[in-house]
Chain A
Amino acid sequence: MYNGKYIIPGIVIFVGLFTFPFWSNLLTPKYERPQLAMPADQKECIEPAEYMRAEHMHILDVWRDQALREGKRAYVASNGKVWDISLQNTCMKCHANKADFCDKCHNSNSVSPYCWDCHVAPRGNQ
């Protein structure tokens, strides 16, 4: 091999950088899905849980537009139930604990929604 004194360190640096997630996680404890604080007195959200997991941000976005820009305040869920379009009065009535509900998944997946630029963040179930 020619110029090994330059090329071998280069390859080592490249492999080191590329495998960074593997060796930097050697000491990390096993990753678990964040455990969320579910409301105690309610069993069902406005839509099924799988749908909410994937689409809650979209629902909130649509709700924001409908409530504030179009003045529509009624949401008909897929099971026919009608809900009041309101983050403060509908969502947070049950999910009153931002730190243990919203933030856990958001922090773990590095999501920083700007809901709380305008809304008052719920502080918990006290």
Chain B
Amino acid sequence: MFISLLAVIALGCIAWLGAASGFQYLIGVVLPYAAVLVFIGGFVWRMVDWAKSPVPFRIPTTGGQQKSLDWIKPARLDSPFTTAGTVGRMLLEVLLFRSLFRNTSVEIQKGPRVVYYSAKWLWLFALLFHYCFLLIFIRHFRFFLEPVPFALTAIEFVDGIMQIGVPRMFMSDVLVVAALGFLLARRLFSEKVRYISLANDYFPLFLLLGLVGSGIWMRYFAKVDIAAVKVLTMGLVTMNPVLPEGIGAAFFIHIFLLSCLLAYFPFSKLMHMGGVFLSPTRNLPNNTRAVRHVNPWNPPKKYRTYAEYEDEFRELMEEAGLPVDKTSEEAAAAE
């Protein structure tokens, strides 16, 4: 935990020092390009790697009755039998985190008695985090598009509709910090989760907190010359990068942490973004009883029929008085 925290703090310090000592072009232009290349290349590589792994059998995790006899009601989403059911299950999983919704907490009460409670907080804050992050990601396109499309202005209007402060406070900024805070607090204060949490669980959380925090710091407190930032970002996406004068250090910390996130993404647990689509326990219909699935790389079976066996040993069998399907006379007549 502390290693991850120190790593993110160190990254922030590197960016800050770099921006202060003349490495602005490296941090603002070279690293983002490199990070985007690593992100796309790494993402495709991971997906192709997974796609190469064979999944010969149906191994869906099920949460309901399998399709069986007509008078037994099947669970169409929790144990999908058709493609439509599987697609529906995937959509609910990807868009609404349906399986997290079923999360329960176990407790041993005095008695001793095991009690299962419904535990929805993880689902709620996970959903909150992902949608806020998506919203923030989309909002940032105002720096990459000219003119800014109306849809983006509309999103910003709704997100900042509370009209608190100037620049206007975005609700998604507050909620994403709250959600990340919950996800971190859960790892720190729930003994069971803490026991299984590793540095690669904490690092993405701290990195995201650093990224979001530096963005908030830049937007609401430190304030940078946003028109110059747009010159830089537009230069990046139009492939003629420029480094305008007078952008504050907060921006370089922000874009450095973003570059770190992009480059780290394909090699971390964050790849669940693509992996969720390739989960064999989710994306396969549960039709093991209705359809025969043959392992495609099984070697061709070598077998010998009884007729061939008898052809070879017929005379010996007849000598020994064993019963045969065809006698020597019948076999000779057939030839």
**A interface, CB within 8 angstroms of B:** 1-4, 7, 10-11, 14-15, 18-19, 21-22, 24-25, 28, 30-34, 50, 53-55, 57-58, 60-61, 105, 107-114
Q: State whether the Cβ of B200 lies closer than 8 Å to any Cβ in chain A.
A: no
Q: Of B145, B147, B235, B238, which is in contact with the most chain A CB atoms at under 10 Å from its CB? A: B238
Which residues of A are found within 8 Å of B274, using beta-carbon distances? 14
**B interface, CB within 8 angstroms of A:** 39-40, 43-44, 47-48, 51-55, 141-148, 152-153, 156-157, 163, 165-167, 223-228, 230-231, 234-235, 237-240, 244, 246, 248, 274, 277-278
- Find the B residue at minimum CB distance from A32: B231
Evaluate contact between B225 and A53: CB separation under 8 angstroms: yes
Knowing A2-B54, A2-B55, the reply to whether A54 touches B47 (Cβ < 8 A) is: no
Which residues of A are found within 8 Å of B244, using beta-carbon distances? 33
Q: Name the 10 nearest CB pairs between A and B, nearest first.
A: A31-B234, A21-B144, A61-B166, A110-B142, A110-B148, A54-B223, A21-B237, A57-B166, A7-B51, A53-B225
Evaluate contact between A22 and B237: CB separation under 8 angstroms: yes
Give chain A nearest CB distance to B238 CB in angstroms: 5
Give chain A nearest CB distance to B146 CB in angstroms: 6
Evaluate contact between A22 and B141: CB separation under 8 angstroms: no
- Find the B residue at minimum CB distance from A105: B227
The listed residue (B145, B153, B225, B277) touching A10 by CB distance below 8 A is B277
Which residues of B are found within 8 Å of A54, using beta-carbon distances? 223-225, 248
Q: Of A14, A55, A60, which is in contact with the most chain B CB atoms at under 10 Å from its CB? A: A14
Complexed CA–CA distance, A21 and B141 (Å):
8
Which residues of A are found within 8 Å of B225, using beta-carbon distances? 50, 53-54
- Find the B residue at minimum CB distance from A23: B237
Which residues of B are found within 8 Å of A28, using beta-carbon distances? 146, 234, 238
Complexed CA–CA distance, A107 and B226 (Å):
12
Which residues of A are found within 8 Å of B43, using beta-carbon distances? 14-15
